[in-house]
Amino acid sequence: MGRKGGAFKLKYMKTKGGEFIIKETNAQDIFIPEQWTEEQLMMKKTCEDFVAQEVLPHLDKIDNQEPGLVPSILEKAGELGILGISVPENLGGLGFDFVTSMLTTEVIGGAHSVAVALSAHTGIGTLPILYYGNEAQKAKYIPKLATGEWKACYCLTEPGSGSDANSGKTSAKLSADGKHYILNGQKMWITNGGFADIFTVFAKIDDDKNLSAFIVEKAFGGISLNPEEHKMGIKGSSTRQVFFNDCKVPVENLLSERENGFKIAVNILNIGRAKLAGAAIGASKQVTTKSVEYANERNQFGRPISKYGAIRYKLAEQAVRIYASESATYRAAQNIEDAIHALIAGGMDEAKAKLKGIEQFAVECAILKVHGSEVLDYVVDEGVQIYGGMGYSAEAPMDRAYRDARINRIFEGTNEINRMLIVDMLLKRAMKGELDLMGPAQKVAAELVGIPEMSEPDETLFAYEKKLISNYKKAILMVAGAAVQKLMTTLSKEQEVIMNIADMAIETYVAESVLLRTEKLVGMRGEEACKEQLAMMRIYINDACDKISVYGKEALNSFGEGDELRMMLMGLKRFTKQDPFNPKAARQVVAEKLIAANKYCF
Ligand SMILES: Cc1cc2nc3c(=O)[nH]c(=O)nc-3n(C[C@H](O)[C@H](O)[C@H](O)COP(=O)(O)OP(=O)(O)OC[C@H]3O[C@@H](n4cnc5c(N)ncnc54)[C@H](O)[C@@H]3O)c2cc1C
């Protein structure tokens, strides 16, 4: 198929987006990060060397925004092919597949502000043209973007229009001679704004209801910039307000069709969300490595602090959450890749297939974004704590890591908006008949009034955890089913309940992904070689159980009443019942391995 990477090119899996709530997945049918090919690992090494040589030694200069430094680092990345990883070879890129691009995004995720500049360029900056541009637009812009000769940014947000992105006021009017659109308006928070040559700008033509998108060259004129924003973190990443004052854009630079801009923005954000999770994993691994190194090095009360249970808990928990987020991210990335392959095999054009494939997994993309960004925030917060006073020092690495992490819960759709999207998209799919949520929800409701089955416990490896995951799915179906029935059309206004249901879905998807990854890995390496992974899986799945119980209870108590509520609460108790489990012993197994390796090692 002419696309590089791909561990499973011959096998088009039938998994559909969002289906995890109602279907079981076989461990053999998921991709796990222990299966990289030589070619993929070589690309990973290129990115690791780039970050180690071109970025990490210069972090202070980057954050001080030394003139020309970040653009020159992007050009270096272009020379190495890093900017063109997802760009087809005929347009000057390397033509790698989605999963490989996720791996390289992960590595670049450790590059602080440069990670943001680079991903804004290759993602929201380049992809609208690559996926929606016509042949002439792609031929003109993509090769120069893939090499870094031109740098790109994406102008959607405005002072009055952030989460409500379609409400932007920037206007586009056709000139009297019909040759240009004249753009006027103000954009805000534009990453790479200070040095970009190419701006993808969203604006409304005349009184249109929906946005249109335009490819705007800085050279067209009529563009001015405010000074750099003073930000909490990612200080080296250029963030500007951009003003369009009678900016003349040739009509041939309308991207896709009139009023198609909002759809472009949403679809490009789906990709950005999945990639953000990849970048968060890379940053989290780096911070965990620093945390372990420091814990091993720092002595208090006559011993390294890594000997203390309170610190070992934190190190283990950092690793557990990263392992979990990584399991979910690459599972979804391969599902997306397979969906793309299947669409291409069915005759669809590659660019369209990529968008469609990713759109099918938009629920999972939102899950990954929320989970990955919150794992990173946990990891950096505990990283600061492990460093103690040095965690608060601007001379030590945690200060920058902590500040840089925080943006991830805000951009690419805030985590609140993404949580709402998870539930909204699932319910819309159910309503369209694409996802049968009602059938399984009714079955769970029937189970609630029936007598609980008493079967002999299955002692085989993973049987208990599989039962737990299946019960988490029942808990979601029960709570979501009841919420839909009880609240009907007002559910969309009951955001607290929606947040609870979204959190139940996030925990279930991630917990299942950890289980499937570990099961597959044990199949490949044997149980003894995977004792830390087994411990991480058990910790995550047990914790998820408690969280699902709390989220479910909150939701049910928010809208349920009387006997029906009491029955559902009892059902929830049944679905979140767990056997005794010793989390301290399991975390000790994980911490021991990290401390011996002196780095994140899973
Ligand atoms: C450093 C940085 C870089 C950025 N880069 C870019 C870029 O390159 N291009 C670009 O176009 N944009 C960019 N953005 C903008 C970013 O995408 C927006 O900040 C983000 O979408 C949130 O919009 P807002 O800031 O207007 O917040 P608001 O939408 O005002 O949200 C404020 C709070 O209200 C919540 N909220 C909003 N609506 C609802 C609702 N309906 N229900 C419940 N809660 C709600 C939000 O979750 C949030 O907690 C960047 C932002 C930053 C800070």
Q: Is 59 in the pocket of ligand 1 (CB under 6 A)?
A: no
Average pLDDT over residues 211-239: 98
- Mean pLDDT, residues 363-372: 98
**pLDDT of amino acid 258:** 97
| pLDDT tier at 351, thresholds 50, 70, 90 | confident
- What is the 3-state composition of the chain as percent helix, strand, coil, each rounded to the nearest 5? 65, 10, 25
Q: Using one digit for the tens of pLDDT, what is the confidence trace for 268-295?
A: 999 999 999 999 999 999 999 999 999 9
Minimal-distance CA residue to ligand 1 atom 51: 189
Looking from the CA of residue 163, the nearest atom of ligand 1 is 29
Tell which residue, 206, 30, 293, 236, has the closest CA to residue 120.
Answer: 236
What is the distance in A from the centroid of ligand 1 to the CA of 479?
A: 29
Query: What number is the average pLDDT over the span 497-510?
Result: 98
CATH of domain 435-597: 1.20.140.10
The distance in angstroms from the start CA to the end CA of the chain is: 32
**How many whole angstroms from 592 Cα to the centroid of ligand 1?**
41
Q: Residue 492 and residue 453: Cα distance in Å, rounded?
A: 35
How is residue 365 written in tokens?
A: 């993309």
Separation of alpha carbons 160 and 112, rounded Å: 28
Atom of ligand 1 nearest to the CA of 229: 1
Q: Is the CB of 358 under 6 A from ligand 1?
A: no
Tell whether ligand 1 has an atom less than 6 A from the beta carbon of residue 410: yes
Give span(s): CATH 1.20.140.10, the chain. Answer: 261-417, 435-597
- The long-range contacts involving 48-51, CB below 8 angstroms and separated by at least 24 positions, are 48/107, 50/76, 50/77, 50/80, 50/82, 50/108, 51/107, 51/108, 51/110, 51/111, 51/114
Contact 116 CB / ligand 1 (< 6 Å):
no
**Residue 248, SS3 per DSSP:** strand
Residue 462: Cβ within 10 Å count: 17
Å from CA of 401 to ligand 1 middle: 21
Ligand 1 centroid from CA 414, angstroms: 6
**Which atom of ligand 1 lies closest to the CA of 187?**
11
For the chain, residues classed under CATH 1.10.540.10 are 19-151
Q: Which residues are catalytic?
A: 412
Measured CA to CA, the distance from residue 24 to residue 27 in angstroms comes to 10
Single out the residue of 428, 299, 410 nearest to residue 362, CA to CA.
Answer: 428
CA distance 39 to 104: 12
Look at residues 505, 309, 347 and name the one whose alpha carbon lies nearest to residue 425.
505
With the most atoms of ligand 1 within 8 angstroms of its CB, the residue from 186, 410, 415, 422 to mutate is 410
Which atom of ligand 1 sits closest to the CA of residue 124? 8
- Sign of the alpha-carbon torsion through 436, 440, 445, 449: positive
The pLDDT of residue 11 is above 60: no
pLDDT digits (tens, 9 = 90+) for 304-350: 999 999 999 999 999 999 999 999 999 999 999 999 999 999 999 88
- For 19-151, the fitting CATH number among 3.40.50.261, 3.40.50.1820, 1.10.540.10, 3.30.479.30 is 1.10.540.10
Each residue of 449-499: pLDDT tens digit? 887 777 788 889 999 999 999 999 999 999 999 999 999 889 999 999 999
Could you give the CA distance from residue 217 to residue 214 in angstroms, rounded to a whole number? 10
Tell me where in the chain the CATH 2.40.110.10 domain(s) lie: 154-255
Assigned superfamily of 154-255? Butyryl-CoA Dehydrogenase, subunit A, domain 2 (2.40.110.10)
Residue 405 CA, ligand 1 centroid: distance in Å: 16
Nearest C-alpha to atom 26 of ligand 1 is from which residue? 162
Of all residues in the chain, the percent with pLDDT exceeding 90 is 92
Look-up of token digits 């987020």: 325
pLDDT digits (tens, 9 = 90+) for 13-53: 678 899 999 999 999 999 999 999 999 999 999 999 999 99
* Residue 553, both tokens: 């209870």
540 lines ligand 1 (CB under 6 A): no
Strands (DSSP E) along 120-209, which ranges?
A: 152-155, 171-174, 180-191, 198-205
Which are the contacts of 86, defined by CB distance < 8 A and separation ≥ 6? 93, 96, 98, 101, 122, 127, 130
Dihedral over alpha carbons 490, 492, 493, 498 (to 10 degrees): 120
Domain 261-417 adopts which CATH fold? Butyryl-CoA Dehydrogenase, subunit A; domain 3 (1.20.140)
Question: Is the pLDDT reported for residue 9 higher than 80?
Answer: no
**36 ligand 1 Cβ < 6 A:** no
Cβ atoms within 10 Å, residue 116: 27
**Distance (Å, rounded) from C-alpha 589 to C-alpha 584?**
9
Residue nearest to atom 40 of ligand 1 (CA): 417
